[in-house]
Amino acid sequence: MNPHLSALHAYPFEKLRLLFEDLTAPSLTPIALSIGEPKHQSPQFVSEAISQNLDRLSNYPTTKGIPELRQAISRWACKRFTLKQLNPDTQILPVNGTREALFAFAQTVVNPSPEALVCSPNPFYQIYEGAALLAGATPEFLACRPENGFIPNFDAVSPNIWQRCQLLYICTPGNPSGAVMNCQQMQKLISLADQYDFIIASDECYSELYFDEGSPPPGLLQACDELGRSDYHRCVVFHSLSKRSNLPGLRSGFVAGDAEILKDFLLYRTYHGCAMPVQHQLASAAAWQDEEHVKANRVLYRQKFNQVLDILDGCLDVSLPEASFYLWAKTPIADTEFARGLFEQQHVTVLPGSYLSREVDGFNPGANYVRMALVAEPEQCAEGARRIKAYVQSLKNTAGNDQSQC
C-alpha cells in the first residue's frame, strides 16, 4: 500500500458530517450553503451538443483532445485574457475538470524527496495538499490573512522555502475568500520562479464569476504576456466549465501554458487514462464559444449576493468578495460551534473555515470563519440568510449583547 495514503486528511465534508452526527435538525426545509456545486440551469445547447453526437460513443477519445476543442479554448483564452497567442497544439490540454488535473499535475512535475516542498495558500482547496503528499513532497502552507487581503504575503516567505519549492499553487479568485491577485503580484511570483526554479500552477476556475463587468480578474498567462513571455515559461493555468457554465457534471476543463511542461503532462496523462469523451469535447467547444450564458450567470449571482448581504448587514462581519460565489464570514464564536448551532437551530449548513486550512505555528487562518456558497436559487439563498440572521440574533440575546445590531 502506498505509505503516503496514511498522511491524507479527511475531506472537509466528511469532517462536517461527523460534526453534525449527534445533532437533530429542526423540521425546516434544509438549506445547504456548504458545497460549492453550481445549481443554476446548465445551458440547453450543451445538452443538445451531447445528444447530437452520441454516435461518437464508438470512438476512443485521444488524451490530447480534438482540434476543435483546443482551438475553441485558444480563441476564448486569447480574447478573455488579451493574449497575443496560445498555441492550441502545444500549449493547451483538455482535462476532466480542474480537480483531477490539479492533482495529476503534481504527480508529473514534482521530483519526490524529503526536501521537496509544494507551496499553497492557507486556507486552500484540499486537492493541493493531497497532490503534494502523494507526489512525495511536503506541503508548505502560506497563510491568507485579512490584513493582506486574504492573499499570502509572499514577501515574508524565506529564501530557504523558495529554494526547496518545486511547485507553487495559487488560486485566483481565491477559494474561499474570493480574493483576486493582480498582474503585478503574479509577475513578482514569476520572477521568484525564475530565481528559484519552481513551477506556478494557477487555479483560475472561479475567474468568470465576478461582479464588475468592466474589470474581470486577470490571469497568470495574462501576467506573463505583459512581460513578453508568450512561451509562459514555468507557468500553467487551470480553467473549468463547472462554475463558468454551470456544468459540474460535464467534468470539463483545460490546462494551458508552458509547452515543455504540458508535453510531459500529456505523457503522464496518456498512461493515466483520463481522456474526455468525444461528445463531451464537442459540447465543451460549444460552451467555450458562447458568452451570453456566462453573462446571465453573473447577473444572477450579483442579485443573490446583493440580497443576502442586505439581509446580513450588521449581523456578521462579511462583505462582497472580488469574485467567486462564496461569502467568507467571520463568526462571533468558534467556527465549528457556529456551524453546529446553525444546523441544529435553523437547518442551514455552512462549512467551518478551520476545515479548509491547517494550523501552522499555532495559527489556523481559517478559524473563526465560515464559508457560505451562494449556489442555490435566489429565494433559497435569501431564506438561508434570514435564518442565519435569526441564529446570530439568538447568540446576541444569549450573550446579552445589543439586539439592535440585527
Q: Residue 201's beta-bridge partner residues?
A: 169, 236
| Strand arrangement, sheet containing 326-330 | 326-330, 369-373, 351-352
pLDDT of residue 403: 46
Is pTM, for the whole model, over 0.85? yes
- The C-alpha atoms of residue 148 and residue 169 are separated, in whole angstroms, by 18
Pairing of strands 253-257, 92-95: antiparallel
What string of DSSP letters covers 307-355?
HHHHHHTTTSB----SBSSEEEEE-SS-HHHHHHHHHHHH-EE-EEGGG
Q: Please name the amino acid found at residue 196.
A: Y
Residue 277: DSSP 8-state: P
Which residue, 20, 33, 39, is CA-closest to 328?
Answer: 33
What are the sequence ranges of the domains in the chain?
Answer: 3-41+293-397, 44-290
CATH no. of 44-290 = 3.40.640.10
**pLDDT tens track for 116-139:** 999 999 999 999 999 999 999 999
Which residue, 363, 402, 348, is CA-closest to 28?
Answer: 348
Given a cut of 60, is residue 402 above it in pLDDT? no
What share of the chain has pLDDT > 90, as a percent? 94
Topology of the domain covering 3-41+293-397: Aspartate Aminotransferase, domain 1 (3.90.1150)
Q: Please name the amino acid found at residue 309.
A: L
Given a cut of 50, is residue 213 above it in pLDDT? yes
- The C-alpha atoms of residue 47 and residue 276 are separated, in whole angstroms, by 16
Tally Cβ neighbours within 10 Å of residue 398. 9
Given a cut of 90, is residue 398 above it in pLDDT? no
**pLDDT tens track for 375-387:** 999 999 999 999 9
